[in-house]
Amino acid sequence: MIWEQRIVSLRGRPRGFHLVTDEIVGQTPELRRVRVGIAHFFIRHTSASLTLNENADPDVRADLETWWRRAAPDNAPYFRHTLEGADDMPAHIKAATVGAGLTVPITDGALNLGTWQGIYLGEHRARGGGRQIVVTIFGEE
Amino acid sequence: MIWEQRIVSLRGRPRGFHLVTDEIVGQTPELRRVRVGIAHFFIRHTSASLTLNENADPDVRADLETWWRRAAPDNAPYFRHTLEGADDMPAHIKAATVGAGLTVPITDGALNLGTWQGIYLGEHRARGGGRQIVVTIFGEE
Amino acid sequence: MIWEQRIVSLRGRPRGFHLVTDEIVGQTPELRRVRVGIAHFFIRHTSASLTLNENADPDVRADLETWWRRAAPDNAPYFRHTLEGADDMPAHIKAATVGAGLTVPITDGALNLGTWQGIYLGEHRARGGGRQIVVTIFGEE
Among C21, C54, C66, pick the best mutation site for testing chain A contact (most A Cβ within 10 A).
C54
pLDDT in tens, A87-138: 999 999 999 999 999 999 999 999 999 999 999 999 999 999 999 999 999 9
Q: Is C141 on the interface with A (CB under 8 A)?
A: no
**B117/C79 touch (CB, cutoff 8 Å), yes or no:** no
pLDDT band at B43 (very low <50, low <70, confident <90, very high): very high
Share of chain A above pLDDT 90, in %: 100
CA distance C62 to chain B (A): 21
| Pick from A1, A45, A76: CB nearest C1 | A1
Q: Which amino acid is at A115?
A: T
User: Phi and psi (nearest 5°) for B139?
Assistant: 160, -165
Q: Where does residue C22 rank: exposed (0-12), middle (13-18), buried (19+ CB within 10 A)? A: exposed
Contact between A51 and B99 (Cβ < 8 Å): yes
Q: Is B70 on the interface with A (CB under 8 A)?
A: no
| Pick from B1, B44, B80: CB nearest A113 | B44
**Can you give the pTM of this predicted structure?**
0.98
User: Judging by DSSP bridges, how do beta strands C131-140 and C2-10 pair with one another?
Assistant: antiparallel
What CATH code is assigned to C2-140?
Answer: 2.60.120.460
Contact between B136 and B4 (Cβ < 8 Å): yes
Partners of residue B99 in chain A, C-beta under 8 Å: 51, 99
pLDDT in tens, B48-75: 999 999 999 999 999 999 999 999 999 9
Strand partners, C10: C131
pLDDT band at B35 (very low <50, low <70, confident <90, very high): very high
Q: Which amino acid is at C2?
A: I
Q: Is A70 on the interface with C (CB under 8 A)?
A: no
CATH class as words, domain A14-130: mainly beta
Residue C120 neighbours by CB distance under 10 Å: 25
Contact between A135 and A43 (Cβ < 8 Å): no
Partners of residue A117 in chain B, C-beta under 8 Å: 44-46, 100
Q: What is the ipTM of this complex?
A: 0.98
CA distance A44 to A130: 11
Share of chain C above pLDDT 70, in %: 100
